[in-house]
Amino acid sequence: MALLFMESFDGYGGTASHATRWNTVGSLGTSGPAPRTGTHRAHSQWVRTLFPGSATLIINVAFYWSGAGALVVGLSDGSSGPQNTLLLDTDGKVRLRNGSSSGTVLDTTAAAVLVSGSWNYLEAKILTGNAGAWTVKLNGVQILTGSGDTQFQATSNVTFLTFTDLTAGNGFDDLYVCDDTGSVNNDFAGDCKVECLSPQAGNGSNTGLTCSTGTDHGALVDELPANDDTDYNFSATPGAKDTYNFTNVATVGVIKAVQVTARARKTDSATKELALVARVGGADYDGTTQAVAATTYGQYAQIWPLRPSDSSAWTISDVNAAEFGLKVVT
């Protein structure tokens, strides 16, 4: 599976629509501190369910430490409770603790390493188990490494991640989480950011869905945050699909993966399924079929770590030329 989840915190426009991707949602900020990239940063507490996979997780996140309070990255086994906690502590040290943020210290930096008043980049690879292991990097420099018992619950499962800043002047941004399976995105990748691109007004190559008003398919899905039933595209016909043009990538460098998200609901009690679509080089590539869960809006995501046309690495020009959208499966 490798890349499990990524988040820019920019696609919600500061509203509660982020609840569709998170189990517990905190707040979104635009200032004090300003976002690292994009339009918003996260603060307060955010909890995300992960699909069970490898016991090893690689957690990558930018964080702002004001010099006060602490920041917490917690790994938990669902309702059983915390397995271990990476604490960016009030004294500027980084500590890995067994269980909660008050649990036994497994490893700690000898001196303060957090840089206050600016954005830092954290990478942590943690194997949860009785024979566990960990390596933690801060701003590209290894600060912790070791092995020992990182399992605090009855099993070694890690199904929840928690990100918490305990002071309003702190925050998180540019988050992605991997495991150590697969052939790409399965180890440390260095300092990265997650950039949010948005659909544009105008019609793409596929216009199989029906417009709720007018004839411009892109104009009905180009709001951040989504305006739900104010305007939209829809269909009950299997095989119908829309693809849209998007804003261009604003940065330079290497594209590690592309994630497409859609906000959708069904309007009756029948089984409905969708697939997200990438149109690359004039051909359409369907993602995994996903059940549309309810008549209330939910968020659906598909990650393409490689270009679906030939399983090669994405380039910026690939992404800028591509269209992305949605297909009705059933």
Per-residue pLDDT, averaged over 55-73, amounts to: 95
Closest CA to 277 of 311, 312, 324, 329: 324
What confidence tens digit (pLDDT) does each residue in 258-272 have? 999 999 999 988 999
| CB 65 within 8 Å of CB 120 | yes
Q: Are residues 31 and 112 in the same domain?
A: yes
Q: Is residue 199 part of a domain?
A: no
For residue 224, pLDDT beyond 90: no
Banded pLDDT at 21 (limits 50, 70, 90): confident
Per-residue pLDDT, averaged over 129-155, amounts to: 97
Q: Are residues 17 and 132 in the same domain?
A: yes
Banded pLDDT at 252 (limits 50, 70, 90): confident
Q: What is the CATH number of the domain that holds 322?
A: 2.60.120
- Express as a percent the part of the chain with pLDDT over 90: 85
Q: Are residues 40 and 140 in the same domain?
A: yes
Full domain range(s) for residue 297: 210-328
The pairing of beta strand 298-304 with beta strand 283-286: unpaired
What confidence tens digit (pLDDT) does each residue in 97-137 have? 999 999 999 999 999 999 999 999 999 999 999 999 999 99
Q: Are residues 167 and 214 in the same domain?
A: no
Q: Is residue 72 part of a domain?
A: yes
pLDDT at 14: 66
For residue 50, pLDDT beyond 90: no
Alpha helices in the chain (DSSP H): 316-321
What's this model's pTM, rounded to 2 decimal places?
0.93
- The dihedral over CA atoms of 245, 210, 276, 320, expressed in degrees to the nearest 10, equals 0
Q: Are residues 169 and 25 in the same domain?
A: yes
Q: Are residues 232 and 148 in the same domain?
A: no
Q: Are residues 158 and 15 in the same domain?
A: yes
Q: Are residues 138 and 232 in the same domain?
A: no
Q: What is the CATH number of the domain that holds 139?
A: 2.60.120.200
